[in-house]
Amino acid sequence: MLELKEVTFCIRKDGEEIPLVDRASFRVPKGHFMAIVGPSGCGKTTLLKTIAGLNPESGGELFWEGRNLSEDEDFEPTEIGYVPQFSIAYDPLTVDESVEAATRLRVRCKGAGELDDRIDRVLEETGLTGIADRRVKVLSGGQKRRLGLAMELVSDPKILLCDEVTSGLDPRSEREIVHLLHDLSRKDGRIVMSVTHSLAHLELYDSILVLHEGRIAFHGPPAKLTHYFSVQDTEEVYPRLATQASESWRNSWCKHSESYQKMLDHHRERLVASGALNIPAGQPDDDGAAAAPQAAALPGFFSQFFTLLSRRCRIFARDRAQVLLQLAILLCFPVLVTLFSDKASGNISRYSEVRPTDVFVEIQEQQRVRADQAKVGSAVSGIIMFQVVLLALMGSNNSAREVAAERPIFEKEKFGGLRPSAYLASKVVFLTLLVVAQSLWMAFFVNFFGPFRGDFAQHAWFLLLINAAMTSTCLAISAWMRTAEQASLMSIYLVGFQLPLSGAVLALPEHIEAITRPFIAAYWAWSGSVEALQSQVHTAVKSVIDTGLSAQQLCLYALFAHIGASFIAAWLGASRPQWD
């Protein structure tokens, strides 16, 4: 049994506590199908999230099978299923692939046979067997709702919470979904609670709970709803609620709640006696006397990691626009660099070994050498920084949206038992493949068509590190931002500030440079690459830049520090609850 006793959830606004759920008390026995209805903004979804544990209750107690969830441990991830309003599946995947991924992430199966049986069972229960090979992006609204239910049923939850799963559907699809939820409540003693704004098909529910401004105004049999509110039709209930303050409705309900609870108990007894409600043997009764069956075990870290990595690669391969964009960047960016390679490949005049006796000739020689140094040094320094900035831009494109674009699905999967560490590890491995391909191709292409006049291996290493540093930094930004648009904007700003704050173009004032330099990854990659140049070219570059260069080893340490700090920030952001 699920029981709420005076449960309250408040938010703080303008210095005062505002209750969104106010002293809610009711009981829901096993095998019960319950609707939570009320006008928009009355707290229906907030109540559901409070039951799920997404909103920590500000007061009161919540009990599940005799366990006080307000004091003891919360629901096990496999005990509860939550179907939100939004789609929790990826458009490029098929129905079967979506359900399989959900199963692998939420349930530790003993073998392929158990995995297949579980998938086939939930597909059949939700009526999706016939469209198992169809991609999510072509499904209708009703089919997506069924898929959301299927992805929650893979763990056999004892409580299924549904948030507006019938909203936006046509009458036929709405009726089918309500019938499906009704049937699910009759299996294995499952509690199904459905938040809905619609007052259609109320006769299929065992009880109706009416909320008004966060307070319970009614909880009883559907047949008694119109009688209690003294209206002729259910459509008149919402206007009737507006005639009194919510506190008045709550006080009235407190006086009548016991008599209506007896009606619900009597209704349940008749269902059990008739065989319409099947409570499996061994499950606890309403007082929690018997031992509860053990919940399904969560899969391990590596199982979740490989499932996520496989899914990410599959999604990427099927996203034609993203594949073409990555290929275009991979091919075009190195070409842009080589367009400026002619100036960098020029010869630098040397001083003659014999000092000229004519002062005028000596001055001419010095001017010629300095002119060559300025020409080649400026070009080489600029090309290196151009490579660095382009790879920083690649890194931003790699990961700016990687987590934020998946925020709703990621938060939902965390609720279902997904480890943030496994999720982040799969992202790191996938992004590492992109970083290595982009960086090495840039280094080889530019070296072949516009020779890098220095140690190629060291230069390639710094190009890889700047891409990795910017990719990991933008991954951290993405992990902290709520939306993909916010993450993209922040990442663009970050890349835009790399060039002016690096000091490679114009030297910054020393007091500013000391503050900004440690945080500018582009400087460390540029400086390390310049230090890898041939001595003559290195001298030419130093003759035209005003900012100081750092030792290669220091540059390596700085870039690794950027990557390490970004991974820590990304993990903290991914672990932080950000359910909207």
List, by residue range, all CATH 3.40.50.300 domains of the chain.
1-79+157-284+291-299
pLDDT confidence bin for 427, thresholds 50/70/90: very high
Segment holding 176, helix H or strand E: helix 171-185
* pLDDT-above-90 percentage for the chain: 60
The better pLDDT of the pair 127, 369 is held by 127
Asked which of 186-195, 228-237, 283-292, 456-465 is least confident by mean pLDDT, the reply is 283-292
Res 454 pLDDT > 80: no
Show Cβ contacts of residue 270 under 8 Å, excluding neighbours closer than 6 positions: none
Distance CA 57, CA 73 (A): 14
First to last CA, the chain: 28
80-83 sheet: strands from edge to edge:
80-83, 159-163, 191-195, 33-37, 207-212, 215-220
pLDDT confidence bin for 351, thresholds 50/70/90: very low
Q: How far is CA 52 from CA 56, 92, 242, 410, in A?
A: 9, 29, 29, 17
Best CA proximity match to 205, nearest among 227, 230, 225 = 225
104-162 pLDDT, tens digit per residue, is 999 999 889 999 999 999 999 999 999 999 999 999 989 999 999 999 999 999 999 99
pLDDT of residue 348: 54
- Structure tokens given for 413: 């999967």
Q: What is the mean pLDDT of the chain?
A: 86
Asked which of 13-17, 42-46, 60-64, 543-547 is least confident by mean pLDDT, the reply is 543-547
pLDDT of residue 291: 46
- Structure tokens given for 384: 């290196």
Residue with tokens 């560490």: 421
- Structure tokens given for 308: 């996520």
For residues 37 and 375, the answer to whether their CB atoms sit within 8 Å is: no
Task: Kindly report the pTM of this predicted structure.
Answer: 0.88
Distance CA 352, CA 363 (A): 12
- Structure tokens given for 106: 């939420």
Q: Is 197 exposed, middle or buried (0-12, 13-18, 19+ CB in 10 A)?
A: middle
Give the distance, in angstroms, between the CA of residue 539 and the centroid of all CA atoms in the same chain.
49
Res 254 pLDDT > 80: yes
The better pLDDT of the pair 506, 515 is held by 515
3-24 pLDDT, tens digit per residue, is 999 999 998 888 888 999 999 9
Amino acid in position 553: Q
Q: How far is CA 526 from CA 67, 498, 551, in A?
A: 60, 11, 11
Domain 1-79+157-284+291-299: top CATH class: alpha beta
Segment holding 10, helix H or strand E: strand 2-13
- Structure tokens given for 434: 């992109």
The CA radius of gyration of the chain, in Å to the nearest whole number, is 32
510-539 pLDDT, tens digit per residue, is 777 778 888 889 889 888 888 877 665 656
For residues 37 and 208, the answer to whether their CB atoms sit within 8 Å is: yes
Residue 527 dihedral angles phi and psi, to the nearest 5°: -65, -45
Distance CA 390, CA 443 (A): 12
The better pLDDT of the pair 432, 295 is held by 432
Distance CA 374, CA 333 (A): 26
Mean pLDDT score, 24-28 = 94
Residue 43, Cβ neighbours under 10 Å: how many? 26
Segment holding 530, helix H or strand E: helix 521-531
Res 36 pLDDT > 70: yes
pLDDT of residue 288: 47
pLDDT of residue 188: 82
SS3 state at 210: strand
- Structure tokens given for 320: 């034609």
Residue 158, Cβ neighbours under 10 Å: how many? 23
Amino acid in position 241: L
pLDDT confidence bin for 344, thresholds 50/70/90: low
pLDDT confidence bin for 198, thresholds 50/70/90: confident
Mean pLDDT score, 349-368 = 55
Best CA proximity match to 277, nearest among 362, 209, 182 = 182
